[in-house]
């Protein structure tokens, strides 16, 4: 493999590294930014908790309604059964 061989493609030249002024040192989070983050996270969790409580209350109400309907149906079935026995 002779580098002067016309059948061998030339190697690509890697790009130059970025200029030093373009590279910024990694920023460290400040206490204020961390407090802001935790405050926003806490508010989001509280909002999710309110939504979950509403869903739980709705589900509980539905279960109570289903139990009431089940009792009505059972009473109707008993009444129909008694009518058929006579």
Tens digit of pLDDT for each residue in 39-60? 999 999 999 999 999 999 999 9
CA geometry: angle at 69 spanning 63 and 75, to 5°? 140
- Token pair for 21: 């002024």
pLDDT above 90: residue 2: no
Q: Burial, 23: exposed, middle or buried (Cβ in 10 Å; 0-12, 13-18, 19+)?
A: exposed
Residue 65: enclosing H or E segment and its boundaries?
A: helix 31-85
CA geometry: angle at 17 spanning 11 and 21, to 5°? 165
- Nearest by Cα to 75 from 64, 83, 85: 83
Percentage of the chain with pLDDT > 70?
93
What pLDDT was estimated at residue 9?
76
Q: How confident is the model at residue 77 (pLDDT cuts 50, 70, 90)?
A: very high
Domain residue limits, the chain: 45-86
pTM for this prediction: 0.54
Q: Is the dihedral of CA 51, 53, 55, 58 positive or negative?
A: negative
């Amino acid at each position: 493999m002779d580098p002067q061989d016309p059948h061998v493609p030339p190697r690509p030249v890697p790009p130059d590294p970025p200029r030093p002024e373009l590279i910024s040192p990694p920023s460290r989070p400040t206490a204020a930014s961390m407090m802001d983050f935790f405050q926003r996270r806490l508010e989001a969790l509280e909002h999710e908790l309110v939504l979950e409580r509403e869903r739980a209350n709705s589900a509980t109400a539905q279960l109570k309604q289903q139990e009431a309907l089940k009792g009505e149906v059972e009473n109707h079935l008993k009444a129909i059964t008694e009518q058929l026995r006579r």
